């Protein structure tokens, strides 16, 4: 379990804290989405979870290991891996397999064990056969997968992903998200920072941050249906959820907690049926515009 207690962090004592009294618990195997407007402290909070940044006051413990104890940091960083928004910031090897082997190699593991860890990690992200490739020849999506493989070679219990799909094309984005979901299904804890709520509708939990505080904490359906509130924070709700919310504003009583196309079709069909009750002719084609 990751436990955060009364966490305060400031980059400059003369300015308000970036994080101001955060208290949370995240269990191993949980898929947590962390969202919020720019500057709210998401990445700063994430960096506290593997000891890259240490509390000004308060406490962060990873499986009972306090991040403020320097001797705990090697174990903490094995338990919690982090994927940065730009994967090139963490690629250090001249070939794919060298990069993935970097972490286990620093642990002075036997060569055979390192080889097995590298092979397993590359298979998990679908990069088997890329071992001899040079990282600079990879696409943006492949570089993101390489960074993920390098983290997985350390066999973490939790993985933090900071905007992992923000610069990817749709195909690469779906590939990364599918792998993240598969890792979570296998029992790995996921902390997914994103501005795109449609990427995390399958998360177990959504934490919304605003001005250094936890502003909301609940399931995706509980959080994303608060369309007006999310918009007031400058956040864009899932498009389907917003569509149903607009129907409600036109007098429909449909529950706005809708994520999937099938759910939306069911709600819209029901809405049109109520609108057209008693009409002799069926309604014309409905055109949806954003």
For 32, the token pair is 């947590």
CA distance 9 to 137: 39
CA distance 19 to 102: 32
Query: What local confidence, expressed as pLDDT, does residue 280 receive?
Result: 44
| Complete DSSP assignment for 217-279 | EE-HHHHHT-HHHHHHTT----HHHHHHHHHHHTT----S---SHHHHHHHHHHHHHHHTTT-
Place of tokens 């809405």: 271
CATH architecture assignment, domain 2-226 = 3-Layer(aba) Sandwich (3.40)
CA distance 62 to 67: 7
CA distance 62 to 49: 7
The residues pairing with 35 across neighbouring beta strands, listed in sequence order, are 208
Q: In this predicted model, what pLDDT tens digit does every residue of 202-234 receive, in sequence order?
A: 899 999 999 999 999 999 989 988 888 999 999
For 30, the token pair is 């949980």
Dihedral of alpha carbons 11, 16, 19, 23, sign: positive
Nearest C-alpha neighbor of 168 from the set 176, 179, 156: 176
CA distance 9 to 22: 10
> Residue ranges per domain, the chain?
2-226, 239-275
pLDDT along the chain (290 residues), means of 10: 96 92 94 94 94 96 95 94 90 95 92 96 95 94 94 95 88 92 95 92 94 93 90 88 75 60 70 58 47
111-125 vs 140-152: helix axis angle to the nearest 10? 140
Query: What local confidence, expressed as pLDDT, does residue 253 receive?
Result: 58
């Amino acid at each position: 379990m990751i436990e955060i207690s009364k966490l305060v962090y400031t980059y400059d004592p003369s300015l308000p804290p970036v994080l101001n009294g955060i208290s949370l618990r995240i269990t191993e195997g949980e898929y947590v989405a962390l969202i919020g407007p720019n500057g709210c402290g998401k990445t700063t909070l994430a960096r506290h979870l593997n000891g890259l940044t240490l509390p000004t006051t308060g406490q962060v413990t990873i499986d009972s290991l306090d991040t403020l104890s320097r001797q705990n940091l090697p174990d903490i960083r094995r338990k919690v891996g982090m994927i940065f928004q730009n994967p090139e910031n963490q690629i250090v090897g001249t070939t794919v397999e060298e990069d993935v082997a970097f972490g286990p190699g620093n642990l002075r593991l036997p060569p055979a064990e390192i080889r097995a860890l590298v092979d397993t990690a590359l298979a998990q992200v679908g990069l088997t056969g890329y071992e001899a490739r040079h990282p600079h020849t990879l696409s943006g999506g492949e570089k993101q997968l390489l960074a993920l493989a390098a983290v997985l070679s350390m066999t973490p219990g939790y993985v933090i992903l900071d905007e992992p799909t923000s610069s990817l094309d749709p195909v690469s984005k779906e590939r990364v998200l599918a792998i993240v979901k598969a890792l979570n299904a296998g029992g790995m804890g996921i902390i997914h920072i994103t501005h795109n709520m449609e990427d995390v509708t399958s998360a177990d939990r959504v934490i919304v941050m605003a001005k250094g505080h936890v502003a909301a904490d609940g399931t995706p359906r509980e959080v994303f249906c608060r369309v007006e509130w999310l918009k007031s924070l400058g956040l864009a709700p899932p498009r389907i959820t917003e569509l149903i919310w607009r129907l409600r504003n036109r007098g429909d009583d449909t529950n706005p907690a809708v994520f999937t196309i099938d759910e939306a079709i069911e709600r819209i069909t029901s809405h049109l049926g109520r609108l057209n009750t008693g009409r002799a002719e069926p309604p014309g084609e409905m055109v949806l515009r954003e």
